[in-house]
């Protein structure tokens, strides 16, 4: 994929889906693809594992067919391994590669990876430059505003990364101390967007089409990236696209939600096997029905499910009464 085409489509569609570790796996990317997003990115994969051909990592990189462009997110701190992994990803047919400089998981930080790279701007730029020189597909970077509140450096670092070859930069508007809860630093995000010539993708707090529209308006970003907002809600894709285009979006019915959730369950169990698939879906199923009354009871019962049939039986207990969804 040419950088110019990537930039053109990104600026036109104004939407890119987030790589979410443990969630945007192949089974859920199959679901997301049905809703025709312009870009889908894999969950993060370790660069060294890609180079070494780790079986689980290869499985994580299974591409989803559809009208979208496929991206893969790389995690690592060694420029050479990152470049080799990016080349492998390019040869697998991916359209772009994203470099993770935002992950706040403790074991990732302890290795100097993820958001830790924001503390070493020279190394961060070397990684991007080395990857850029190794592949012909666009290279993007996902950042936070800084490693911590005492070292907010997203403006200076993003400018250097752009000069190192980044085709676009995603900014999650919080620092690395806390994943969620703190308010977004809109000022920092807006300043980055106003100073870069490459597209800036705004991430954080996008749970609806209106949220996405407000993010673009407040920050001046080229595109919005919903994160947790896509979990159990692939309909956020057409909702955001309709909001941008001015078309009317129709929210899904309860039966439509049940049907897509059931398809998700099938995909997961087919991909991982029923035992692990059911365990994985225990933390996902209830997300499809977040507005349901007695959600706590549903969550509790889901955690006791051991088979696909158990889960389907629980879905059957979700009813619509006088326009309200209720778990009976």
Strand partners, 46: 75
pLDDT at 180: 60
What DSSP character marks residue 145?
S
Residue 308 pLDDT > 90, yes or no?
Answer: yes
Beta-bridged to residue 144, according to DSSP, are 172
For residues 271-293, average pLDDT:
95
Residue-wise pLDDT tens digits, 213-268: 999 999 999 999 999 999 999 999 999 999 999 999 999 999 999 999 999 999 99
Higher-confidence residue: 182 or 62? 62
pLDDT band at 179 (very low <50, low <70, confident <90, very high): low
Q: Which two tokens stand for residue 216?
A: 């673009």
pLDDT score recorded for residue 130: 98
**Please, which pLDDT band fits residue 3 given cuts at 50, 70 and 90?**
confident
pLDDT of 231: 96
How many other C-beta atoms are found inside a 10 Å radius of the C-beta of residue 53?
9
Residues 109-118: what's their mean pLDDT?
A: 95
The set of residues, in sequence order, having a beta carbon less than 8 Å from that of 32 and lying 6+ positions away, is 17, 24, 40, 64, 230, 234, 237
> What's 248's DSSP letter?
-
Position 171 pLDDT exceeds 90:
yes
Enumerate the domain spans of the chain.
3-245, 254-327
What's the chain's average pLDDT? 95
Please list the active-site residues: 103
3-state secondary structure the chain: CCHHHHHHHHHHHCECCCCCCCCCCHHHHHHHHCCCCCEEECCCEEHHHHHHCCHHHHHHCCCCCCCCEEEEEEECCCHHHHHHHHHHHHHCCCCEEEEEECCCCHHHHCCCCHHHHHHCHHHHHHHHHHHHHHCCCCEEEEEECECCHHHECHHHHHHHHHHCCCCEEEEECCCCCCCCCCCCCHHHHHHHHHHCCCCEEEECCCCCHHHHHHHHHHHCCCEEECCHHHCCCCCHHHHHHHHHHCCCCCCCCHHHHHHHHHHHHHHHHHHHCHHHHHHHHCCCHHHHHCCCECHHHHHHHHCCCCCHHHHHHHHHCEEEECCEEEEC
Lowest mean pLDDT among 113-117, 172-176, 270-274: 172-176
Least confident of 6-20, 41-55, 58-72, 173-187: 173-187
What are the tens digits of pLDDT across the range 124-162? 999 999 999 999 999 999 999 999 888 899 999 999 999
Q: Please give the CATH topology (third level) of the domain spanning 254-327.
A: 1.10.1200
Rounded to whole angstroms, how far apart are CA atoms 264 and 315? 13
pLDDT-based confidence at 178, cuts 50/70/90? low
Neighbours of 181 (CB within 10 A): 6
Please give the pLDDT value at position 162.
Answer: 97
CATH class as words, domain 3-245: alpha beta
pLDDT at 80: 97
Which residue has 């933390």 as its token pair? 283
Cα separation, 35 vs 249, whole angstroms: 13
Confidence of residue 183 (pLDDT cuts 50, 70, 90): confident
Residue 1: pLDDT over 90: no
| Radius of gyration in angstroms for the set of CA atoms belonging to the chain, rounded to a whole number | 20
The pLDDT value recorded for residue 181 is 63
């Amino acid at each position: 994929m040419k950088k110019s085409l990537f930039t053109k489509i990104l600026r036109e569609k104004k939407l890119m889906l987030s790589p979410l570790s443990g969630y945007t796996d192949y089974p859920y990317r199959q679901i997301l693809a049905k809703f025709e997003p312009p870009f889908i990115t894999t969950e993060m994969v370790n660069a060294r594992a890609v180079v070494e051909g780790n079986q689980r990592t290869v499985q994580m990189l299974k591409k989803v067919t559809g009208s979208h462009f496929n991206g893969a997110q790389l995690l690592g701190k060694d420029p050479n391994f990152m470049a080799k992994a990016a080349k492998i990803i390019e040869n697998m047919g991916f359209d772009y590669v994203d470099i993770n400089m935002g992950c706040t998981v403790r074991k990732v930080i302890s290795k100097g990876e993820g958001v830790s790279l924001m503390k070493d701007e020279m190394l961060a730029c070397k990684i991007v430059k080395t990857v850029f020189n190794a592949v012909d597909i666009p290279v993007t970077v996902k950042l936070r505003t800084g490693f911590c509140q005492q070292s907010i450096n997203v403006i200076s670092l993003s400018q250097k990364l752009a000069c190192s070859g980044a085709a676009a930069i995603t900014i999650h508007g919080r620092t690395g101390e806390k994943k969620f809860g703190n308010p977004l630093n809109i000022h920092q995000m807006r300043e980055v967007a106003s100073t870069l010539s490459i597209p800036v993708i705004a991430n954080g707090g996008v749970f609806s089409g209106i949220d996405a529209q407000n993010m673009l308006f407040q920050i001046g970003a080229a595109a919005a990236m919903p994160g947790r907002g896509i979990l159990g809600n692939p309909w956020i894709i057409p909702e955001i696209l309709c909001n941008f285009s001015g078309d009317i979006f129709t929210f899904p019915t309860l039966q439509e939600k049940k049907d897509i959730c059931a398809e998700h369950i099938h995909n997961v169990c087919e991909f991982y096997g029923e035992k692990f698939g059911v365990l994985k879906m225990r933390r996902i199923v209830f997300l499809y029905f977040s507005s349901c009354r007695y959600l706590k009871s549903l969550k509790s019962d889901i955690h006791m499910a051991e088979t696909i049939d158990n889960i389907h039986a629980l879905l059957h207990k979700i009813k619509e009464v006088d326009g309200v969804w209720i778990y009976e």
